[in-house]
Amino acid sequence: MSQSMQQDSKPVIELKDVKVYHRARTGGLFRPNIVKAVDGVDFTISRGETVGIVGESGCGKSTLASVLVGLQTPTSGEVLFHGKPAIKRNAHMRKAFGRSVSVVFQDPATALNPRMTIQDILTDPLQIHGIGNAASRAAKVKELLALVGLPQSAAEVTPSQVSGGQRQRVAIARALALDPDIIVADEPTSALDVSVRAQVLNLLSDLKTQLNLGMVFISHDIQTVRYVSDRICVMYFGKIVEQGTASQVFDNPSNDYTKKLLGAAPSLLHI
Ligand SMILES: Nc1ncnc2c1ncn2[C@@H]1O[C@H](COP(=O)(O)OP(=O)(O)OP(=O)(O)O)[C@@H](O)[C@H]1O
Ligand SMILES: [Mg+2]
């Protein structure tokens, strides 16, 4: 399945009426304030498509991302993985889910272990999942480095010895190590220097095409989202308030909040 280069329109993950509620610190013991981080979201992601999620800070983008990658169990609602309920306690499914869906975080400096060499960082997921032997893993590391445009010599150094943009390439390579179906990228360029943002964005977009990945691309910068996405979801206070192709959302925003977001956002990306 992971190796398939066929366009597969069936969703890899489907969320149905997913809610994630938190008890806020400001609430009292008997009258807790509830934060509705995600509040009734329906969402699908399939191979071969890039779905952008955009919305202001605190609207629930990262919470939605953690549900998608299986790090957060919803308060209510359903998470389907290849059409079947993704039940957390089932070890087999957890492993399959972990292989199929991977994540790239905002800040590669904290997402990568600073004491491991890049070789070890990229070998780690293969070892955890018991894939291949020493020789095939070494070959896979070479392939991954080439895929993300890093020199082979990067294998021997630690993340702090490469540039910020290169570190994010390492994080992307690690996310690709298990041949996933889906990559969830949560603000993957916001921690990077402006000069390398476009390169990393282009890399993600090329990889998506080359590997027929499904990609969930999260950003508060609507111009960046537009640049990479086939479909855009606008989130506002935990809900998806608008959904459509990039041109539908941009040329014909139906929601007042979307209009505001479009008017307010100068692009942080210079391309
Ligand atoms: N563990 C938690 N406990 C309480 N509230 C939480 C928790 N995690 C998230 N929240 C709240 O849920 C809401 C959504 O947070 P989330 O991080 O998903 O937003 P976001 O859209 O990713 O924001 P940003 O653009 O700043 O990254 C926020 O109001 C946040 O304070
Ligand atoms: Mg976030």
Residue 271, pLDDT > 60, answer no
Most confident of 18-27, 42-51, 250-259: 42-51
In this prediction, residues 156-166 reach a mean pLDDT of 95
Q: How far apart are CA 68 and CA 233, in angstroms?
A: 14
35 touches ligand 1 (CB under 6 Å): yes
pLDDT reported for residue 222:
85
57 touches ligand 1 (CB under 6 Å): yes
In this prediction, residues 262-267 reach a mean pLDDT of 64
239 touches ligand 1 (CB under 6 Å): no
Measured from the alpha carbon of residue 39, the closest ligand is 1
Mean predicted lDDT score pLDDT of the chain = 90
Which numbered atom of ligand 1 lies nearest the CA of 66? 18
pLDDT of 213-263, one tens digit each?
Answer: 999 999 988 888 988 999 999 999 999 999 999 888 888 888 888 888 877
60 touches ligand 1 (CB under 6 Å): yes
Query: Model confidence at 1, in pLDDT bands (50, 70, 90)?
Result: very low
Q: 31 alpha carbon to ligand 2 midpoint, in Å? A: 27
Q: Which domains does the chain have, with CATH numbers?
A: 11-264 (3.40.50.300)
Q: Other C-beta atoms within 10 Å of 69: how many?
A: 19
The region that residue 136 occupies, defined by phi over 0 for left and psi between -120 and 50 for alpha, beta otherwise, is: alpha
Measured from the alpha carbon of residue 26, the closest ligand is 1
pLDDT reported for residue 253:
84
The beta-carbon contacts of 86-95 under 8 Å, at least 24 apart in sequence, are 86/13, 94/70, 95/129
In this prediction, residues 113-126 reach a mean pLDDT of 96
Contacting residues for 125 by C-beta, under 8 A, at least 6 apart: 174, 177, 178
Query: Model confidence at 25, in pLDDT bands (50, 70, 90)?
Result: confident
Q: How far apart are CA 178 and CA 189, in angstroms?
A: 22
Q: How far apart are CA 68 and CA 15, in angstroms?
A: 8
Measured from the alpha carbon of residue 220, the closest ligand is 1
Which numbered atom of ligand 1 lies nearest the CA of 55? 21
Query: Model confidence at 5, in pLDDT bands (50, 70, 90)?
Result: very low
